[in-house]
Amino acid sequence: MFSLKKIYHHIVWVFQGVQVFALVGKSGSGKSFRAQLVADKYGIDFIIDDGLLIRGEKIVAGTSAKKEKGVLTAIKTALFANKDHADEVRKTLEREKFKRILIIGTSIPMVKKIASTLNLPQPTHIIKIQDIATLDEIEKARRSRDEEGKHIIPVPAIEIKKNYPHIFFESIKVLLKRKFSISKKNKEFEKTVVRPDYSRKGKVAISQEALTQMVLHCVNEFDSSIKVSKIIIKNESDKYIFNVFLDIPYGTQISGDVHRLQRYIVENIERFTGIIIDEVNLTVSKISFMKKIFKKNSSGTT
């Protein structure tokens, strides 16, 4: 039913001519700083950035990930992992009239996941931060993030002071100079610098050992008769790839049980950690001829 609803909304958006743009770059590379400039250039109506739905200079829906106390909860907020949060933004989008929307994220899988969660079409226009900013500008932005804990929200200070006064730091203005244009005047954008609580407390990382333990727990919870012989985890550009080698009992339906296990691992690890999983590759390395004992997981799947 849920997938049919997604298909319905996708058809509606496509029929209405809605286009989804994505601005992608590593954390602290200056994406939010340039968001309004990108929106102005491409005639984009809405921006989705760190859990917020922004139209022009107004926050119209959502919750800022930058108000969160911890890094992991901030990631979940940015991904709209909370149902009420996602529902609020979805309903607002359904009420509003628009043609173009920009999703900001640290990777292509992340913006695709946000689009899917909000029932939007997948992005067809991918803009990389290095295409619109120089290496020096990106490095300067990263130093500001790493050394001073500063983040940008692409709305005026009054919007942040009204909604999130405790993280407000300062207001800055950026002038967009329109080259070779007589009819259009230069345009000024106001942005707000904030310092989230989690930026003042150092960095939080999830070790491969911790992720390995989570995979083992997921497999055991799904079906205790399936054993894991080896796990290889790769992290490339904020995307995680899991290669899991399994020892399964004879009689396990590879086309059914193993595929459900794959989904179970992805859904649980993404939900509890907020990381973006690009691939979970399950390899059956051994089939054991022993009595199969099923264990029901929390979703009722066997």
Q: Which of 56-65, 113-122, 245-254 has the lowest mean pLDDT?
A: 245-254
pLDDT digits (tens, 9 = 90+) for 134-146: 888 888 888 776 6
- What is the per-residue pLDDT for 184? 57
- What is the per-residue pLDDT for 1? 43
Give me the domains of the chain, ranges plus CATH numbers.
2-200 (no CATH), 208-288 (3.30.300.20)
pTM higher than 0.85 for the full model?
no
- What is the per-residue pLDDT for 125? 95
51, pLDDT greater than 70: yes
Who contacts 167 (Cβ-Cβ below 8 Å, separation ≥6)? Answer: 66, 67, 160, 194, 195, 196, 197
- What is the per-residue pLDDT for 117? 92
Mean pLDDT computed over 260-278: 84
- What is the per-residue pLDDT for 183? 46
**Pairing state between β 277-288 and 239-249:** parallel
Mean per-residue pLDDT of the chain: 81
The long-range contacts involving 54-59, CB below 8 angstroms and separated by at least 24 positions, are: 54/154, 54/155, 55/96, 57/155, 57/156, 57/159, 57/190, 58/155, 58/159, 59/155, 59/159, 59/163
Whole-angstrom CA distances from 249 to 212, 213, 214, 254, 293 are 22, 22, 22, 11, 9
Mean pLDDT computed over 56-72: 84
3-state DSSP call for residue 33? helix
